[in-house]
Chain A
Amino acid sequence: QSALTQPASVSGSPGQSITISCTGTSSDVGGYNYVSWYQQHPGKAPKLMIYDVSNRPSGVSNRFSGSKSGTTASLTISGLQAEDEADYYCSSYTSSSTPLVFGTGTKVTVL
């Protein structure tokens, strides 16, 4: 099972909105509404930001939102803040013999 494809980096200025894409296939992203997004600061464990495509866990800022169209899922961060600078990973359930696949990761830089 290949990793889901994410852009290596995305940047934006404080206050702006950015969108990170996560591209898969009909066997994973396109076939199930089980896409999650994780934020990881350097040296820290990942943190769940979005699950089941667009659901936010309790305590996660509503500046983070998720969506999906076809085989591509997206994470949008609105009102970008310095603390949002981190690596972001998507994941999806898959119909392959390995049920979970992560994305390649995206480094978000706040300019």
Chain B
Amino acid sequence: QLQLQESGPGLVKPSETLSLTCTVSGGSVSSSRYYWGWIRQPPGKGLEWIGTISYSGSTYYNSSLKSRVTISVDTSRKQFSLKLSSVTAADTAVYYCARALSLGATAIDYWGQGTLVTVSS
């Protein structure tokens, strides 16, 4: 059974960079059939897609975040990562890593449990 687990700091200061890693177990990030991505959900609000990456490193980002987002993949460690720079309080959210069936994330079939990241000084 595929499992995804987010890890990283739960508190980030304004203007700094948020960094999260997702570790995949029970499967491989090297498959060409699947894509790996990040979605976030501010407390009490809806879902927002951040971006997706393929095993070969092709990426697709939310245009509203594109200037601040970097998603990378490390197939040897079975991990992929999210970096979001120049964070503000508006970036406070539960961040989910996930597996998608396309680069455009048209269907997201496996999700991590989510990790709350708070932006505050």
Please tell me if the beta carbons of A99 and B104 are within 8 angstroms of each other in the complex: yes
| Range of interface residues on B (Cβ < 8 Å) | 20 to 34
B residues in contact with A44, CB < 8 Å: 113
Q: Does B64 contact A (CB under 8 A)?
A: yes
Please tell me if the beta carbons of B49 and A46 are within 8 angstroms of each other in the complex: no
Please tell me if the beta carbons of B107 and A36 are within 8 angstroms of each other in the complex: yes
Please tell me if the beta carbons of B108 and A89 are within 8 angstroms of each other in the complex: no
Q: Does A57 contact B (CB under 8 A)?
A: yes
B residues in contact with A91, CB < 8 Å: 47, 49, 105-106, 108
- B111: contacting residue among A47, A57, A93, A97, CB under 8 A: A47
Please tell me if the beta carbons of A96 and B106 are within 8 angstroms of each other in the complex: no
Interface of B is mostly: loop
Please tell me if the beta carbons of B104 and A100 are within 8 angstroms of each other in the complex: yes
A residues in contact with B96, CB < 8 Å: 45-46
Q: Does A17 contact B (CB under 8 A)?
A: no
Residues 14 to 60 of chain B near chain A (Cβ within 8 Å): 46-49, 60
Given that A45-B96, A46-B47 are contacting pairs, would A100 and B105 also be in contact in the complex, using a CB cutoff of 8 Å?
yes
A residues in contact with B111, CB < 8 Å: 45-47
Question: Nearest residue in B to A55 (C-beta to C-beta)?
Answer: B107
Please tell me if the beta carbons of A102 and B49 are within 8 angstroms of each other in the complex: yes
A interface residues, how many (CB within 8 angstroms): 26
Residues 38 to 59 of chain A near chain B (Cβ within 8 Å): 38, 44-48, 51-52, 57
List 30 A-B pairs, Cβ < 8 Å.
Answer: A1-B63, A3-B46, A34-B102, A34-B106, A34-B107, A36-B108, A38-B47, A44-B113, A45-B96, A45-B112, A48-B107, A48-B109, A51-B101, A51-B107, A52-B107, A91-B47, A91-B108, A93-B106, A96-B63, A98-B49, A98-B63, A99-B104, A99-B105, A100-B62, A100-B105, A101-B49, A102-B46, A102-B47, A102-B49, A104-B46
Where the two chains meet, the residues of A that have a C-beta atom closer than 8 Å to any C-beta of B are 1, 3, 34, 36, 38, 44-48, 51-52, 57, 89, 91, 93, 96-105
